[in-house]
Structure 1
């Protein structure tokens, strides 16, 4: 996508406020009726001064934890809700698949809802009739197309709604997390359709919790946290920053949960006082930073400590590829290593013999755990290494392709 491509979505200093009422019962609402005091309501700012530009041909992923504002931003872009302040400018036809069954009437059949939803997305009746067979074929629910949609499963809802959205020839396609509802085969079909849209130069804005999809599909990622843009740019950097945020939240929630359930202070201290200081990965005989070649021995050195001391502990490493898929993982417990008392910083070396990584970048995560498997400290993406690409294959596993030509093969003739 060229930098001089036209801007199709411009979000300028947008904020969105929702009012959360604190009177939880009908009686409380009647008592507080007409009162505007802040004791009975709370302002929640889902978006705070967000400014972004999306150019034609970009695939932009909006990521963040639940409540970060990503779905709100998608609805603002699609014109579903208006911002409390700021402005949004759009160019071209927008098709939005934002909520399960949005635009469907439960008492109408699937056939009737195709025409209803298509008209909402800007198609004339004649255009919908021309594309109807393709829409139904893509959805895969031809046997239920004349059934009222209130009898549809959630997966059938998604199939039909997505089929209508992608057959309206949108310039901008907005997709929320609803794709996660479909089965695996339909998800692959949707991803193939998205890739074809990318090849056609269409603009796609998607919200997803699948970080592997972000790294695979998006050429740009926007990380939101508490309604503010934290990272806007390279998907790998945005995903890495998001994982850091999730790890901080996980640790805070673990401590809060432990406090609620009355966990002893010394046990909480054990969790807080564990540390993974660093991890280094490199091929034996090569300098740190050099590529790890097939056949090398990979040495991963992890430095851990515990402020108050711990006897029963486990060190773990996990290697992921850039899509977040686990390539390899092991622990000292798995390989039967008994570790001595841990207090002062101690180094644990994992030596992986004769590795066979395919070309690409790999991330190493390191963890300190107790014998029950509870994580005392995690250091996500503690280090990384690269494996050289090979001209004869792609993938995460190295295997030399050796072909031989044994001559022509006589195919059997079947006469029926």
Structure 2
């Protein structure tokens, strides 16, 4: 393999699917004479070209329907392109769909041999690897049970275990890893890291930007069947998140157009940004409210969430005993969160206002977003500069 700089070569690949407007067989019969008019072309891929170097780990990311999974299936030979070509070298293992290659009426044991044969192992080679495959999967007690009785997690365990034990030069992995439980996902990540250390090539489709940023040395961002970024993972994740932010703002604008105004107090605008100082990052949130009726005792709350919806911070003026303006008119409230130690990435701000009785009168979920800058010394949800010491004179704490 080392004689070839590229293990996969994709040249001008396009893939067309036919979308039928008819919703049932009855409609197809009724409109038989106009069948061509009731079919639309959908180009899942359009003129995609890329070379994947041997030993690299490439992440394919993008919105749902962007073409990333279609591209992975074309690379794996599962579907053929409408035009263009794909050249692969070496042994390939693919985890593209849940339970692909499994027969539901066969036992787990029988499916191990069937799936291994599909992936290129002989019966004797599978015999040598069988115990390791079963041990890695962790489903020893069910190996002789028909797989139609397996849970989705058991499917993934066994399929992944077979794939990584066929000694592949190229491993293709779709989002199926998200189905396994957390301990098994860690085991899978450890196995992928082992493959990387051995110089194997991995192409990964994932919706987890943290996973892609941690594992991949190259990121390809797909949009409407075309590549809009191919290169640095950090830049690729930024491009992806900017796309999500544009969609979120569009949805938010539509929601505001149809949402009725609150009777007493309404939120008119929310913005947020960061202020980078000397070693610290402040988050500033500006909220404009319209007080339409003098309302004593009302309050405001804010919350910060990740793009995946995990709440990491919330606070309100009721707990802080902070009085809000009661005069009729528009008011701008500034909230400064000093020295926020969040890891790099995009975060969403939600805002709500409530009466003294705690009755919510207006709420703007995911109303604004801010970006935390890249951190050269750590990754993850928190930004912490560690103090590493070798053989220090440590006093007991």
Written as runs of structure 1 = structure 2, the 5 A alignment for 1:33-182 is 33=32, 35-38=34-37, 40-182=38-180
2:370 aligned residue: 380
Partner in structure 2 of residue 26 of structure 1 = 25
Q: Is residue 314–residue 368 contact of structure 1 (8 Å, CA) maintained in 2? A: no
User: Against the structure 1 CA distance between its residues 109 and 299, is the aligned structure 2 distance closer, same or farther, given a 3 Å change threshold?
Assistant: closer
Unaligned runs of 5+ in 2: 354-359
Which range moved further: 360-369 or 149-158?
360-369
Aligned to 1:367: 349
- Alpha-carbon spacing, 1:193–1:64, altered in 2? closer, same or farther (3 Å): same
- State how far apart, in whole Å, the 2-side matches of 1:343 and 1:5 are: 66
Where does residue 411 of structure 1 map in the other structure? none
TM-score scaled by structure 1? 0.78
Please name the residue that 2:269 is paired with.
Answer: 274
Partner of 1:412: none
Equivalent positions of 1:329-344 (< 5 A) are: 329-333=313-317, 335-340=320-325, 343=330
Q: Determine the C-alpha separation between the residues in 2 that align with 1:101 and 1:123.
A: 18
Residues 396 and 167 of structure 1, relative CA distance in 2, 3 Å threshold: same
Shift of 1:367: 2.9
SS at match of 1:80: coil
Instruction: Quote how far apart the aligned CAs of 1:399 are.
Output: 7.0
CA distance in 2 between partners of 1:152 and 1:366 (Å): 38
CA distance in structure 1 between the partners assigned to 2:201 and 2:123 by the alignment: 25
* RMSD, aligned CA: 3.6
Indicate the residue corresponding to 1:10 in structure 2: 9
2:335 aligns with one of 321, 332, 348: 348
Contact 1:244 1:380 survives alignment (8 Å): no
Are positions 1:218 and 2:216 aligned together?
A: yes
Q: 1:34 to 1:189 in 2, by over 3 A?
A: farther
Q: CA deviation at 1:319?
A: 9.0
SS for the counterpart of 2:128 is: helix
CA apart distance, 1:29: 1.4
C-alpha distance after superposition, 1:154-205 (max 9, x if no partner):
1111111000000011111000111111111111111100000000011100
Tell me how far apart the structure 1 counterparts of residues 336 and 148 of structure 2 sit (CA, whole Å).
58
Alpha-carbon separation, structure 1, partners of 2:374 and 2:369: 16
C-alpha displacement of 1:48? 1.4
Give the TM-score normalised by structure 2.
0.81
CA distance in 1, matches of 2:284, 2:133: 54
Mapped to 1, the partners of 2:301 and 2:151 lie a distance apart of: 44
Q: Do the aligned partners of residues 11 and 319 (structure 1) sit closer, same or farther apart at CA in structure 2, a change above 3 Å counting?
A: same
Whether the aligned pair in 2 keeps the contact of 1:64 and 1:224 (CA below 8 Å) is yes
* Matching residue of 1:301: 284
Structure 1 residues 368 and 154, CA gap change in structure 2 (3 angstroms): closer
Report the count of equivalent residues.
Answer: 372
